[in-house]
Amino acid sequence: MTYVIAQPCVDLKDRACVDECPVDCIYEGKRMLYIHPDECVDCGACEPVCPVEAIFYEDDTPEEWKDYYTANVDFFDDLGSPGGAAKMGAIDKDHPMIAALPPQNQD
């Protein structure tokens, strides 16, 4: 099991979760952040600091955002396990599902 970043993060990328993560497993894509499922230690530190409540434990992800689990996992298909987001910096791609979304209204 792992944590999942869902729709509220798209086009926001607050990064409070990145600062809180003790294992540096939250990577930055073009439009949202992604949690690496193999690097996440399920500590839960990221969830309470997210200002838009975009982070969920895998089993607790709302039904309408269940596909975000796959988006988080598949984002790393060609990256493998880099062993830490900080050394990667921002990654110039998104999962196709995220890339296809219309711009999100950030009121």
Looking at residue 73, which CATH number applies to its domain?
3.30.70.20
For residue 44, what are the domain limits?
Answer: 3-99
Examine residue 8 and state whether it is found in any structural domain, yes or no: yes
3 state DSSP class of 39: coil
Write out pLDDT tens, residues 45-82. 999 999 999 999 999 999 999 999 999 999 999 999 99
All residues at 6 or more sequence positions from 105 whose CB lies less than 8 Å from its CB, including other chains? none
* Residue 105 falls inside a structural domain: no
pTM confidence score: 0.95
Query: pLDDT band for position 1 (50/70/90)?
Result: confident
Q: Determine contact, residues 47/60, Cβ cutoff 8 Å.
A: no
The domain tally of the chain equals 1
In a domain, 45, yes or no: yes
In-domain check, residue 56 = yes
